[in-house]
Structure 1
Amino acid sequence: MLRIAVTGSPGTGKSTVVAKVAEKLASQPGFKIGGIRTAEIRKGGHREGFSIQDLVTGETGTLSHIKGNGHRLGKYRINMEDLERIGVNAIRNSLFCDLVIIDEIGPMELISGAFVAAVEEVLESNKPILAVLHHSSRHPLARRIRKEFEVLAVDTKNRDELPEKIFNRFASQLL
């Protein structure tokens, strides 16, 4: 069972690497990808927060924003409702897919006990997983992933070649 986590400093392209692999695998006939994808919410050239999307249904919500009432993490407020309604459900439903994508396992997501429990459910399965792992998290779940997964560091030198390398690894085992 192939499990890969990509990690690296902010802005190195971790989510882009995972998105490119997912796009290429999703183009294979009959291959189903589940899980979550996060993306920046930008306005006027500035990041205001992050969205969260269910890869199967396409449903998108707000993971965090500079405005709001949720738990504060840095300058952002975590939207627990969307994290749990969209993110947790997407991760649990990914157990019915060929590959689980979790973008990202980081401080915002790890605030939710339901999120942690959903990821742990997937880890207990035999599903192949491709995840983005926050570079410095010391959360027990992050430590477990570092121990159980093949962890690849993304940087500006390798981010263009990594998607093909990761795709080939998954394709050789899943297609």
Structure 2
Amino acid sequence: MLRIAVTGNPGVGKSTVVTKAVEKLNLKACGIRAAEIRVDGIRQGFSIEDIDTGRKGVLSHVKGTGPKLGKYHVNLEDLDGIGAGALRDAIACDLVVIDEVGPMELKSENFVRAVEAVLDSDRPVLAVLHRSSRHPLAQRMRREFEVLVVDEGNRDELPERIAERFR
């Protein structure tokens, strides 16, 4: 079973690479996608979306009450309900997409357990992996996945390269 993780510096286009690769595939892809929440061009936080159902929530925001990471508060309710739930359901799909396994997501034990269940399954996985997390789950993914580093020089050709591997 094929498992690929993309990593790289913040803002280099890791999530975009994964999204474009999935769009090139004729597979039922399920899991989660994260995106910036911007107001007047200023990042206020991140959303989380269940790729299969389209259900969206707030992963983190500058205004909130959850665990703080930098200037953001992690919304454990949506991370657990939407994020972990989508990953548990994704095991029934052709391809599991995890955007992302990083410090915010790793604040949730339910999310960690859901990712571990995916890793313990026989499903192919395409994930975004935080570049320097030392969390045991991130370390496991580095051992078990083919890890591709996204940079400005390769980000335009990586989606096709990744899609070819999953075909």
TM-score category, normalised to shorter length: over 0.9
**Aligned residue for 1:48?**
44
2:21 match: 21
Counterpart mapping for 1:1-175 below 5 A: 1-25=1-25, 28=26, 31-171=27-167
What root-mean-square deviation, in Å, do the aligned CA atoms of Structure 1 and Structure 2 show?
Answer: 0.5
Once residues 100 and 38 of structure 2 are traced to their aligned partners in structure 1, the CA distance between those partners, rounded to angstroms, is 18
1:24 Cα deviation after fit: 1.7
Structure 2 gaps, min length 5? none
Opposite residue 75 of structure 2, the aligned amino acid is: N
Aligned residue identity for 1:20: K
Distance in 1 (alpha carbons) for counterparts of 2:29 and 2:16:
16
TM-score, with length taken from structure 2: 0.99
Measured against aligned partners, the alpha-carbon deviations of 1:116-140 in whole angstroms (never above 9, x if no partner) come to 0000001000100000000010000
TM-score (norm 1): 0.94
CA–CA distance in structure 1, aligned partners of residues 134 and 37 of structure 2:
26
Identity %: 65
Structure 2 CA distance, aligned partners of 1:9 and 1:18?
15
Which whole-Å CA distance do the structure 1 matches of 2:20 and 2:142 have between them? 22
TM superposition outliers: structure 1 runs of 4+ over 4 Å: none
3-state SS of the aligned residue for 2:131?
coil
- Structure with the largest fraction of helix: 1
SS of the residue corresponding to residue 91 of structure 2 reads helix
Gaps of 5+ in 1: none
